[in-house]
Structure 1
Amino acid sequence: MSTIKMSNMLQQAVALHQQGKLDAAEALYLQVLQSQPEHFDALQLLGVIAKQRGDAVLAVTRLREAIAIDAQQAIAHGNLGAALQDLGLPEEALLSYDRALQLKPDYAMAWNNRGNTLRSIGKLVAALHNYDKALRLNPRYTEALLNRGIALQEMEEHQQALQDFDEALTLTPQDAAIHFARALSLQCLRLYEDAIAGYEDVLHLQSEHIQALCNLGICLQKIQQFPAAVDSFAQAIKIKPDYVKAHLQYGNTLRQMGQKAAAITAYQTASSHSKDGTELAHINYALAALGVMDTPAMSPPTYIADLFDQYASHFDGHLLEVLHYQIPTLLSKAISKHVKAGPGNYLDLGCGTGLCGAYLRPTASKLTGIDLSEKMLGQATKTGWYDELHCAEISDWLQGQDQDFDLIMAADVFVYIGALDTVFAAASHVMRAGAVLGFSVEVTNESADYILRPSQRYAHSYAYLQRLADSHGFKIAEVKQEVARQDKDEDVPAYILVMIKT
């Protein structure tokens, strides 16, 4: 084949490639290779096609063949980095991007893609620096704006993320991915009406965007537009019948509407489609709360962590302003009558954002907090009340301690633990005689030791608590029934208990 003919064939292949006609372009690239097996451009572009088709292994092979022919072409190293990232090899991908940028420092796409790789391994600050470099080289680089916004979103810097998304939309107003990312940040900021409008924009562009449909349903659920939420989840399920998240949220909404039988069916359908152990544990917990399965001894730790990670940024306001939460005040007042005078070693179990820290800090020589939610602990850190904060399951953490505590406080923590023997045994082990254990539980007057309510919170009987005290070396110094909070405008009764270690 003559050089002119080969050049024309390559140009034709590139044109077809740009039009998205991958099969036709591939056929011409292969013809070029038949005549010239070491043709860099044909090999490199065949690698690109393989990546576009999702065959990252073939893409890496083709791109490495091209690089073996000419290692000085930045584009091949950049594309190889992207293919290695697709294979889940981020460190190798970074090396390829670094080589591409050594050859071409102003390669904006390589900076952007390098940022994506860093973001995939949780190096968000470094990812932002890479996106910034890409945008300095090309301020109108829509993809880099979107990716920088997503990195900021993952850092929970949603207001800054929105600035990037808005700028990206001025450049590409019909991009569904940008609209979706923007709506997600609005949802995280609890600007549900604006988020709903954003998800509707996504669906106007892509009517079968199931994530947008599901998130739209969640936002509608948050503002108590339950029938509309149910409809949104149903649409997502119609498009993807095995979409577990939609079935689970469908069940949650039906449960909130008081449609127990329908909620059970939705949860059971979610369970039938799920293959993820953690997800199944959450679904089974929801079914147990509706009485379908045996009551577990405690909530799944991942359920608690996920629940409170979602609440962390607005937890205090929601509890105090919406639910009229009283437990820290009531429990601290009860404890103050029994704790020994003078500074002591205090432990706040399930410390959350640190609502109890303000009560405990003034008389604590050392104050330690334990919680399962990393994001709640992040909020607790900001208070400055705590000497130590640990992310751990409380029984496991207590069993590993060799110190003695003068006071252990558990405000609204045992509502996520049904069987309390392990916790009481572990607490007793780290408390000296005269030490105080103060906690709250929701009240049940049933004969069972504990029940799991449809709210997915446990309630305990007083007889059970008395037995726990007797079994683990405590005496009950004070018990009162109080209103802990409100749920659906109804008072939720709780026991406020103070026990002394004997």
Structure 2
Amino acid sequence: MARGSNKAAPRGASGAARLAWTQALQYAVALLRDGQHEAAERELRAVLRKWPDQPDGLHFLGIARHNQGHSDEGIALIRQALAVNPGAVGVWNNLGNVLTEAQRFDEAKATYREALARHPEFINAMNNLATILRREGDHAGSEALCRRAVEIDPEFAQAWYNLSLTLLEQGKVDEGLTANSRAIVLWPKHLQARNAVPRALVHLGRLDEAAQLYRDWLATDPDNPVILHHLAACSGGTVPERASDDYVERTFDAFAATFDANLSALGYRAPQLVADLLTRLLPPPARQFDVLDLGCGTGLCGPLVRDWSRTLTGCDLSSGMLEKADRRRVYDKLQHAELVAYLLDHPGSQDALVCADTLCYFGELGPAMAAAHGALRPGGLLVFTVEALGDGGDAPYHLQPHGRYAHRRAHVAASLAAAALHTEALEPVELRMEAGKPVAGWLVAARRP
């Protein structure tokens, strides 16, 4: 998120006072950038006690409160800053970013448009608005904004990446690849942006072209686990039994900032499906169980299972995702750990395990199921989702071109049985939409006898 400044002095501030609040704000902003949100909040509130209308203080306090999981308060503070200094277009852009992360997309669009009305060549707001329009299917509007942004600044890599995606999604593959080539030259090491383009080709069924992009990338970054995994997925190369820890960590660290907003646009249902199945299989919630959220990500399951939890723990390989989960203030403990290792390290510790759309990064389910059995107390419940592999063929699982594994029903059932877990539910569900099509999955519950 950009860190714009209002550059407005408090009313009646002397030279010494101006220096004091400037230094205090600089220190607070440094704390924010270092992720020390509580410390930054304290500094900013101290500034505002002396100068209540100081717009930089209001703005950055709003950012801090959003980062602490209090988005409504943060948005109100940023709006208050803009009421004092409405000409601060960088702050309008930051407000749009916060609204986007809070999934208030209509308000975000209006805010980016306000920034552009005040500064028609503000390319950051232009590109941010183009991103929302593309996700909403307004490709013509998105393309026009991206083209205008790169016309103003031909070195603006983010807009070139965005333009390549909106062109590919319209089926303009040659133009999209040309825009992508320009983006790579300008910003070759941006993992999330660069990976989005071959993934878009995968959704179009252009697997050979996607594989070639990964091979070209691999030539300059030969040990990158993300490239290696996706190249295997879309080229039919040697398929690992599961995604590597390095792949998962790097992918989701890069994805953390936009994860919730992206999944919201896809109608993501896995956490709610897991919670609904718990409702069917557990007694009414009374904070009576020790619950572990495996691969908790940004914590989407947390609020849905909190009422059953005497203690609620989340574990994940991505520190970026864990930071987002921490903002929800629903977990008693968050651990940076691989889920099988964490289960093995905590035998007999849990009454319930939940796992929404994490085991789709495992092909062979046996080790995870055995570890789950060991971590559960007798009578404990495991609830999870995986993507479903259709009929035909004998393979128990398949690494799909987009990089996730799909599992045959028989493999799920056999893995549970081998781990001495009793299957209580194994139901077909739709997990979300992707490329305009529903993603089929299995919703599974099993109990340790």
Q: Residue type matched to 1:415 in 2?
A: C
2:272 corresponds to which of 331, 348, 354: 354
Structure 1 residue 437 displacement after superposition: 8.2
CA distance in 2, matches of 1:137, 1:227: 47
Look up the match of 2:4. Answer: none
Q: Of residues 245, 263, 283 in structure 2, which corresponds to 1:365?
A: 283
* TM-score, structure 1 as length reference: 0.59
**Is 1:416 aligned to 2:334, yes or no?**
no
SS of 1:231's partner is helix
Give 1:392's aligned residue.
315
The aligned runs of 1:45-444 (5 Å cut-off) are 72-81=15-24, 84=27, 85=29, 107-109=54-56, 111-112=58-59, 127-128=74-75, 130-187=77-134, 191-241=138-188, 244-271=191-218, 273=220, 280-289=224-233, 290-298=235-243, 300-302=247-249, 303=251, 306=255, 309=260, 311-316=262-267, 352-365=270-283, 370=293, 372-375=295-298, 377=300, 381=303, 387-388=308-309, 391-392=314-315, 395=340, 398-399=343-344, 400=346, 402=348, 414-429=359-374, 430=376, 432=378, 441-442=388-389
Kindly tell me: are residues 143 and 471 of structure 1, through their superposed partners in 2, closer, same or farther at Cα, counting changes over 3 Å? closer
Classify the secondary structure of the residue corresponding to 2:273: coil
Higher helix share: 1
Per-residue CA distance 1:72-129 (angstroms, 9 max, x = gap): 5334345445655469577898888778767765554565466567777877566545
Counterpart AA for 2:263 = A
Are the equivalent residues in 1 in contact too, given 2:218–2:227 (CA < 8 A)? yes
Say what the alpha-carbon RMSD is for the aligned residues. 5.1
5 Å-filtered alignment, 1:477-496, equals none
**Cα separation, 1, equivalents of 2:99 and 2:428:** 45
The one-letter code of the counterpart of 2:293 is I
Displacement of 1:213: 1.4
- Residue 327 of structure 2 aligns with which residue? none
Identity of aligned residues (%): 18
Which residue of the partner structure matches residue 331 of structure 2?
none
Q: Which runs of 5+ in 2 are unaligned?
A: 1-13, 286-290, 317-338
Which whole-Å CA distance do the structure 2 matches of 1:109 and 1:76 have between them? 14
Aligned CA distance change for structure 1 residues 118 and 358 (closer, same or farther; 3 Å): closer
Residue of structure 1 in register with 2:5 after alignment: none
Cα distance in 2 for partners of 1:466, 1:141 equals 58
How far, CA to CA, are the matches of 1:486 and 1:113 in structure 2? 36
Amino acid at match of 2:364: A
Q: How many residues align?
A: 394
Distance 1:495 1:187, change over 3 A: closer
User: Residues 439 and 166 of structure 1: is their aligned pair in 2 closer, same or farther, counting only changes over 3 Å?
Assistant: closer
What TM-score comes out, normalization by structure 2 length? 0.65
Deviation at 1:259, TM superposition (A): 4.1
366 and 135 in structure 1: CA distance in 2 versus 1, 3 angstrom threshold: same
Contact 1:74–1:100 (8 Å) recurs in 2: no
How big is the shift at 1:214? 0.7
CA contact under 8 A between 1:418 and 1:450: conserved in structure 2?
yes
Residue deviations 1:313-358, cap 9 Å, x none? 1444x77xxxxxxxxxxxxxxxxxxxxxxxxxxxxxxxx3312433
TM-superposed deviation, 1:373:
5.0
CA–CA distance in structure 2, aligned partners of residues 86 and 497 of structure 1: 46
Higher relative contact order structure (alpha carbons within 8 Å, sequence separation ≥ 6)? 2
Measure the CA separation in 1 of the matches of 2:67 and 2:132.
19
Q: Structure 1: which 5+ residue stretches go unaligned? A: 1-70, 320-351
Q: Name the CA distance, whole Å, in 2 between partners of 1:493 and 1:96.
A: 49
